[in-house]
Amino acid sequence: MTAIALPDAKFRRRITRRRAFSHYPAAWVALLYLAVLLAAAAAAGVVAPYDAEQQDLSQALAGPSSSHWLGTDRLGRDVFSRLLFGARVTLLDVAVATAVFLAVGVPLGVAAGYRGGRLDRIVVRFADLVLAVPGIVVLLMVVAVFPGNDIATMIALGLIGCPGLLRIVRGSTLAIRDELYVKAARLSGLGTPAILRRHVLPRISGPIIVQTSLFCATALIAESGLSFLGLTRPETRGPSWGNMVAEASNAMSQDSWLLVPTGGVLVITVIAFGVVGDAVRDTTMGRAVSATPLLRRRPNQQRAATVAPSRAALSVQALTVAVGGVTVVRDVDFEVAVGEVVGVLGESGCGKTITAKAILGLLPAGGEITAGGIVFDGANLTALREKELNRVRGAGIAFISQNPAGSLDPTFTVGSQLREVIRRHHPQPRRQADGEAERLLRLVRLPDPADVLRRRPGQLSGGMAQRVCIAMALAAEPKVLIADEPTTALDVTVQAEILALLRDLQHRLGMAILLVTHDWGVVADVCDRAVVMYAGEVVETATVDELYARPRHPYTAALLAANPHRANTGRPLPSISGAVPRPGEWPIGCHFQLRCPLAESACRRAPVPLSATAPGHLSRCIRAEDVNA
């Protein structure tokens, strides 16, 4: 009967996935159970095979049998019948407590949230005060003042429980009150009762149902606890579930069977309330799902056979990725030569980042590589086990992301994280790793490395954080660095500095870089070659100079035209009309057909293959020759 406070909503920044209530068969079973229980309790006089007090000492403590389904107690009374009669008392008590809980919590919560101001402050203060009072002490006091009166105790229980509901109802109402359509309804002269009925109550009913089912469970346990102690329903006044457990405990030395039905019905009923509450919560508020499946499935060994050997630093071959069963990246091919800088270009939603993350086996929840291979250092990464792949991460292929501020663990200092990464790849004493950390920070041109090492990520600017991330990525001298929009989140001046740093590091360390970006300026600045992606496919690959001079895919041409770096002053910047089709909605044939000025019927008939238009220049367009820059 430990009264543990309900978890605070503010701790739950949920990654949510909603499902309809009908997807929860357990919730339907629970509801059905509760309905049957309620009906049987109401009709106990008719349904129960025996009277609650009908004794038969010759049958005392008989186990379950066809005449007594759940056995008999010490006086030979039928346990099943007594449970049904006891349910009347217990469920009525729970209903009283819940009615008080709702009657106080909902109106006060709605009033406080909707009216605000002083009323709100008073109500919230009051709720906090009641929350702070230890519930069990109050209950025991009420029992002392009204001995054996279960209704008075249940009213007190409802009052003790309502602050939690009140706060939640207030919070939801507050949020709804400020929404545009509610404001509009108010302005249009709709009265407060009508607004509450039409707009507010339907929206807050989800949280109310959740809280109510949880409270029913709590009330059931509290009620039976008090009744077990003989404080509210002594056995002399007829059966209740709690005093039946007490009776079972008295009979324990002779036969412990009675504990099973009496406790079992309590457990099952509490679970039923809980299951209903969970299902309503999941359908109305979404359910927490882990976004990163940390344990990769065992790789498919057969895929190893499908890759071709490659002399490039990194070779992506016919890579196909699905997320949640939907293909998001299809048949992607490209190579990054040793020491080369390759850009991956395209609008948002073209599969650039997914491709980058797939290379390191860091796909989000539900993501998997369904075909193709990734060759690095003579091995197919898709065929490696998690442990083997982990040895490639950081050491062979490193990664920096578009969110430098979120890329570092906020709870550890920069020095501690950097040191951990260094020692992971090159085990060495702490002191030595500290020196190495300083060297890396100087390498990424951070002034005062010693100071940065002592800071926590929250105390760094975006640019500094990205430099730290680059230093971490360089810790094991990787052969390939994957940079996923490394400058997108940064200020313009900082962008230029970070790009200059990357270019400089690439020259000095000779590593290959795969640079994901949507910015032609970045590509022109640092890349040797570029891969243009559209709707999950590579549509064109060539050297950067060639792409600028002779784009051979209408999408590349359109992107170039929309490039602000090349825009003619005084003329409006051209843009590509329409949007990238979402995965699963890709058209048959060319993916770009819907937005393409050159599209013809042949483009819609069959998928277009990637073909060479010149040495080292590939395009996925049947009218490649007609594309003009």
Partner 1 sequence: MIRATARWLASSLVLLFAVTVLTFLLSALAPGDAAKTMLSGQTTSYTPEQYQQLRHELGIDEPLPVQYWHWLYRLLHGSLGTDLFSGQPITQALGGRLAASLSIIVGTVLVSAVVGLAIGVVSAVRGGLAGRLVNGLTLLGLAAPNFWLALVLVEWLAVRHPVFPATGYVPVREDPAQWLRSIALPVITLSVGGSAFIARQTRDAMADVLSRDFVVMLRAHGLPLRSVVLKHALRNAAIPVVTLLGLMFVSLLGGTVLIEGIFAIPGLGQQAVTASSTHNLPMIEGVAFYFTIIVIAVNLLVDLSYRWLNPTVRAQ
Touching partner 1, residues 192-251 (CB under 8 A)? 217, 221, 224-225, 228-229, 245, 248-249
Among 320, 390, 428, 543, binds partner 1 (CB under 8 A): 390
Residue with token string 């890349």? 527
CB contact at 8 A, 158 and 101: yes
Strand pairing category for 379-380 and 397-400: unpaired
d(CA 339, CA 342) in angstroms, rounded, equals 10
CB of residue 256 to partner 1, shortest distance in Å: 5
Between 228 and 586, name the residue whose CB sits nearer to partner 1.
Answer: 228
Cα 517–Cα 522–Cα 528 angle in degrees, nearest 5: 95
Residues 356, 363: Cα–Cα separation, whole Å? 9
What's the CA gap between 46 and 268, in Å, rounded? 23
Residue from 46, 144, 187, 308 that binds partner 1 (CB under 8 A)?
144
> Any bridge partners for residue 543, and if so which?
529
Under the binding rule (CB under 8 A), the answer on residue 395 touching partner 1 is yes
Q: Which is nearer to partner 1, 320 or 407 (CB)?
A: 407
Nearest-approach distance from CB 33 to partner 1, in angstroms: 13
Q: φ and ψ at 158, to 5 degrees?
A: -60, -40
Closest contact distance (angstroms) between CB of 162 and partner 1 is 17
| Nearest residue (CB) to partner 1, 192 versus 292 | 292
- How many angstroms separate the CA atoms of 88 and 91, rounded? 5
Query: What is the DSSP code string of 89-133?
Result: HHHHHHHHHHHHHHHHHHHHHHHHHHH-HHHHHHHHHHHHHHHHS
Which of residues 105 and 135 has its CB atom nearest to partner 1 in the complex?
135
Nearest approach, Cβ of 475 to partner 1 (angstroms)?
7
Return the CA Rg of the chain: 34
Closest approach of Cβ 7 to partner 1, in Å? 6
Dihedral angle at the C-alpha atoms of 538, 539, 543, 545, nearest 10 degrees? -140
Question: Rule CB under 8 A: which of 469-528 touch partner 1?
Answer: 469, 472-473, 475-476
Binding mask 253-292 for partner 1 (x = CB under 8 A): ---x--x--xx--xxx-xx--xx--x---------xxxxx
**What is the sign, positive or negative, of the torsion defined by CA atoms of 548, 550, 553, 554?**
positive
Convert residues 450-469 into a mask of x (bound to partner 1 by CB under 8 A) and - (unbound).
Answer: ------x-x----------x
Q: Smallest distance, Å, CB 222 to partner 1?
A: 9
Q: Which of 75, 140, 201, 599 binds partner 1 (CB under 8 A)?
A: 140
Task: Determine phi and psi for 426, rounding to 5 degrees.
Answer: -130, 90
The burial class, CB within 10 Å (0-12 / 13-18 / 19+), for 462 is middle
CB of 279 to partner 1, least distance (A): 12
Q: Please report, as residue ranges, which positions from 163 to 182 form the binding site for partner 1 (by CB under 8 A).
A: none
Task: Tell me whether residue 108 or residue 441 sits nearer to partner 1 (CB atom).
Answer: 441
Interface positions, 61-120, toward partner 1 (CB under 8 A) = none
Nearer to partner 1, 75 or 362 (CB): 362
**Entry field: residues in the chain:** 629
Site for partner 1 in 398-427 (CB under 8 A): 398-399, 401, 403, 406-412, 417, 420-421, 424-425
Site for partner 1 in 363-382 (CB under 8 A): 365
Residues 328-357 that bind partner 1 (CB under 8 A): 357
Q: Which two tokens stand for residue 313?
A: 């630093």
**Which residue's CB is nearer to partner 1, number 137 or number 492?**
137
Q: For partner 1, how many residues bind (rule: CB under 8 A)? A: 84
Specify the residue, 306 or 403, whose C-beta has the smaller distance to partner 1: 403
User: CA of 387: how far to CAs of 246, 428, 615, in Å?
Assistant: 55, 21, 39
Q: Which is nearer to partner 1, 347 or 420 (CB)?
A: 420
- Nearest one of 320, 381, 316, 321 to 342, comparing CA atoms: 316
**Which residue intervals of 492-595 are DSSP H helices?**
492-509, 520-526, 544-549, 554-561
| CA distance readout (Å), 210 to 25, 91, 107, 169, 193 | 17, 18, 17, 11, 24
Classify residue 193 as exposed, middle or buried by CB count within 10 Å of its CB (0-12, 13-18, 19+).
exposed
Q: Which of residues 7-36 bind partner 1 (CB under 8 A)?
A: 7-8, 11-15
According to CB under 8 A, which residues from 288 to 307 bind partner 1?
A: 288-295
Nearer to partner 1, 115 or 296 (CB): 296
Of 80, 69, 68, the C-alpha closest to 41 is: 80
Mark the segment that binds partner 1 (CB under 8 A) among 68-76, 181-189, 387-395, 541-549. Answer: 387-395
Q: Which of these ranges, 5-13, 75-83, 308-316, 428-436, lies near partner 1 under the rule CB under 8 A?
A: 5-13
Interface residue with partner 1, options 18, 197, 198, 391 (CB under 8 A): 391
Task: Please say which residue, 131 or 201, places its beta carbon nearer to partner 1.
Answer: 131
How far is residue 280 from each of residues 11, 30, 173, 264, 477, measured CA to CA in Å?
Answer: 19, 12, 18, 24, 51
Output the smallest distance, CB 309 to partner 1, in A.
Answer: 25
